Amino acid sequence: MSAEIEKKSTRAHVPVIAIDGPSGSGKGTIAHRVAARMGFHVLDSGALYRLLGAAAQRHAVAVDNEAGLEVLAAHLDVQFIADTSGDARILLEGEDVSNEIRTEEAGRAASQVAALPRVRAALLARQQAFRESPGLVADGRDMGTVVFPDAELKIFLTASAQARAERRYRQLLEKGFDASLAALVEDIQARDARDTQRSIAPLKPAEGALVLDSTDLGIDAVVQRVFDAASVIPALAKFL
């Protein structure tokens, strides 16, 4: 058995919680809290697409240049560095871009490049490589449907467009960015349409996923529901 095949076989036995959902549903916050409690690794798959979008801007590669983006994706120089707050600092080509890639402009670029089949294929193996012991909490839009279809627990986290826009609005103001609530609602609705209607890996609940609507739920309540679901799955319960 080759080293690569053996590595993939070992990864297959590492438990995964896949958390999917539309932009602004809170899946990143939930993923980090769940992972911290369980001692699992975290994959912010959306950050990879945002990083690719940022790299495309830096290297003057158009967001519809599929061949050029594929090359960038294959050589994306990315580092995730945990800090004392429990969040992750994200480095692109050695530069901290943690705030840069959270802008609405970066989000739009990410949604556009994520719709390209060759780009998604180039990043698939990189995402799957995050599956390391003792376990992984992966958040994104196709974690349970495409990247980790064998995940022990699949969550689809959603909320109304208005609620998601209001959350994003508060986050941007707290970080010192200018923002328009009306524009955010419009952008989120457009992104939802693009993500759900694309031909490759459209945004939808995975088969067997637990659908959680967080419109009227706080973070703690959502996290508890995830733990409740994990508690009845032996491969996950032992980490609670």
Residue 120 confidence class, pLDDT cut points 50, 70, 90 = confident
Under a CB-based contact definition with an 8 Å cutoff, are residues 157 and 25 in contact? yes
Q: What pTM, to 2 d.p., does this model score? A: 0.79
CATH-assigned architecture of domain 14-227: 3-Layer(aba) Sandwich (3.40)
Query: What is the mean pLDDT of the segment spanning 208-232?
Result: 94
Q: Domain segments of the chain: what residues? A: 14-227
Is the pLDDT score of 10 beyond 70?
Answer: no
pLDDT exceeding 70 applies to what percent of the chain? 91
- pLDDT mean over 6-23: 80
pLDDT of residue 20 exceeding 90, the answer is yes
Better pLDDT: 209 or 63: 209
Q: Which of 4-13, 46-55, 195-204 has the lowest mean pLDDT?
A: 4-13
Mean pLDDT of the chain: 87
Long-range contacts from 76-81, C-beta under 8 angstroms, 24+ separation: 76/48, 76/51, 76/52, 76/123, 76/126, 78/48, 78/51, 80/44, 80/47
For residues 151-160, average pLDDT: 96
Give the pLDDT band (50/70/90) at residue 125.
confident
Q: Computed over its alpha carbons, how large is the radius of gyration of the chain?
A: 17
Give 126 or 5, the one with higher predicted confidence.
126
Mean pLDDT of 10-37: 88
Q: Is the pLDDT of residue 127 over 70?
A: yes
